[in-house]
Amino acid sequence: MTTTTPDSVGVAVPETHRPSGRVRFAVAFLVGLLLATVAGAGALYAYDQQYIGRVLPGVRVGAVDLSGLEPAVAAERLREAYGSLSEGEIIVKSSRGSTSISFADIGRGPDVEAMLAEALAVGREGNPVERVIADARTAIRGVTLQPRVTYDPDALAGRIVAYADSLAREPVDGSVQAVKTRFVVHAGVAGRLADAAVPVEAAFADVGELDAPATLTYAMPERAVEPEVTTAEASAAKATAERIAAEVTLSAKTGKQKITQSRLRSWITFAPTADGGYAPTMDTTGLPDILKKLAKKINQAPINASFKTSGGRITGVTPSKTGYKMDVQATQKQILALIAARLEGGTGKSIEPTAKVTQPALTTAEAKAARPKMRKISQWTTPFPISDRNGFGANIWIPARLINGYVVAPRATFDFWDAVGPVTRAKGYKSGGAIINGRTEPQGALAGGICSCSTTLFNAALRAGYEMGARRNHYYYIDRYPIGLDATVFISASGSKQTVSFTNDTDYPLLIRGYGFRDGGTGYVRFEMYSVPTGRDVDIHLGRRQNVRVATDTIQYTSSLAPGVRKRIEYPVNGFQVTSTRVVRDRKGNVIHRDSYYSNYARITGITLVGR
């Protein structure tokens, strides 16, 4: 029940009760505890603030106490304590020696920054209360951190790889080289490859350890690298090359010709093959040209049987020879087959070349059958002045000598240039006279004067009654020749050619005998024709001059001669036309040939030079 009492002002107040003693004690205790806690927290906070930027007490890195040290001092102490981690080396050994990599070269040493950062981080995590508590715990209990080692792995790997690269050696392939007349083997050399991965991996595992020894030693694995072409393969290739380049003999019926070993060697090269081997290769693109050259030595035109004479009589027969012409393409295939067989181990050395054999127009048997019946059936002789205009006779006698003994088979055709062959100084021909642009050039052509030979042959064949072919008169008339029956021959620089030809249109062989001789300053050329007489009758009519153009003679004065000296350089020759004829009848009087030879001779004005 609540009571009120009046006071001085007459206001009533409520009645209050005082707490019990137990309650007062509890309140007092709590207040005291709170005050103590606040005081302790303040002290701890002050402690934490005292070591801001320094290592807390109780912090060690290994055996190094860093308590309360500032970063620079702590870092210096760590360097002093663990500086020996930078002292040492890594040794990598190989078959070629070894290399040393110092710890300093790869930056190995104490990781001061990391250790200092870790030491400074102790007790610095969480909210302020948590840090205060951690500071207290660190101070009471202490914290020991593990020392740390650092190094540059790229530098370490780079040094080991560089050493491995220095040990590496490229293999050298074996090879074969053609040296003059032989093949020389260059031996293959094995290469070397070092495996840097093994020592790099091992070093990475060891060099970062705190307790790693001052010297770390590793072996560099190495292996041999065989060349793509070994010495044995090169030697085998050489043996194959020796076999395929052996001399090849062409055993022809006309004799043996050879493709030399040196020639075949020059066609051989050596190279790796698609299947990984090494072998010789022969380039035979030059073979056709070689065979064409050899064919010229092997080939033989059929040679007619001929006759031996003595004192104007035929005394015997010279045997004929069959013709032989090598088939270049077929022979090439034979040689390529021989070489292919050699590649497979064959040792063939010769072939008989494929060739076509032809019989001569006059065989030995035919000549022997005709010989007893053969007689001289015609002849013709031409005189000429021996002078520089005919090479002093050489240009006339040489072709006569070449034609001497020539046999024209039945139905065969004789051609002057085919019988005489090329005109060269090597044969003895000299410069002589020629009619050039209507004027006589005393030294105008090689073999000048040869027309005396061709004209003589033409007249001998004409009088034997054969079928006549090519013939052409001279530019102007030369009076030592039968009128209208001269026969010039020439081969010009432009390639044009004039020849003398005739055909033996009988069933019997014809033997031509050619002679050259002299009597004082006069030379002579004679041709005789021998055959089986057929009873032919030959009637020759020399034509009369028509449309005669009388030549004149002139004098030309020149300073090239001494005063009063005279020199004849051109004789006057009348110009005219003439037609000479020939009629040939058989033994029954039947006309076999009726020929007309028209000649148009130019007028030549005489010229005498007189010195002035």
594: pLDDT strictly greater than 50: yes
The pLDDT assigned to 27 comes to 55
The pLDDT assigned to 181 comes to 80
Mean pLDDT of the chain: 89
Region of poorest pLDDT, from 291-295, 311-315, 345-349, 483-487: 311-315
Gyration radius from the chain CA atoms? 63
Confidence of residue 33 (pLDDT cuts 50, 70, 90): low
- Cβ contacts of 321 within 8 Å, gap of 6 or more: 300, 302, 303, 360
Confidence of residue 580 (pLDDT cuts 50, 70, 90): very high
Where along the chain do its domains lie?
235-364, 374-611
Q: Residue range 202-231: average pLDDT? A: 93
7: pLDDT strictly greater than 80: no
| Residue 308 φ then ψ, to 5° | -95, 140
The pLDDT assigned to 32 comes to 57
Region of poorest pLDDT, from 9-18, 54-63, 106-115: 9-18
CA dist 184 and 172 (Å) reads 16
Q: Residue range 122-133: average pLDDT? A: 71
The pLDDT assigned to 99 comes to 96
Q: Residue range 448-466: average pLDDT? A: 97
Three-state secondary structure call for residue 611 = strand
Residue 258: CB atoms within 10 A of its CB come to: 14
C-alpha of 441 from chain center:
52
Helices (H), 327-476: 328-343, 364-370, 394-403, 416-420, 451-464
- Judge contact between 229 and 273, C-beta under 8 A: no
The position carrying tokens 């490859």 is 193
Q: Residue range 592-601: average pLDDT? A: 97
Sign of CA dihedral 47, 48, 50, 55: positive
CA dist 612 and 383 (Å) reads 37
The pLDDT assigned to 22 comes to 63
Q: Which CATH class is domain 235-364?
A: alpha beta
Beta bridge partners of 100: 91
Region of poorest pLDDT, from 21-25, 102-106, 257-261: 21-25
The pLDDT assigned to 345 comes to 92
590: pLDDT strictly greater than 80: yes
The pLDDT assigned to 13 comes to 42
Q: How many CA atoms lie within 13 A of 366 on its CB side?
A: 20
The pLDDT assigned to 379 comes to 97
Q: Residue range 179-185: average pLDDT? A: 88
Q: Residue range 312-327: average pLDDT? A: 91
- Judge contact between 498 and 417, C-beta under 8 A: no
Q: Residue range 411-431: average pLDDT? A: 96
The pLDDT assigned to 12 comes to 42
Q: What tokens does 375 get?
A: 């007689």
The pLDDT assigned to 492 comes to 87
Beta bridge partners of 145: 61
358: pLDDT strictly greater than 80: yes
**Per residue in 528-542, pLDDT tens?**
999 999 999 999 999
499: pLDDT strictly greater than 50: yes
Three-state secondary structure call for residue 154 = helix
The pLDDT assigned to 5 comes to 38
The pLDDT assigned to 607 comes to 94
Q: What tokens does 276 get?
A: 């990984």
Q: What tokens does 495 get?
A: 């390639």
589: pLDDT strictly greater than 70: yes
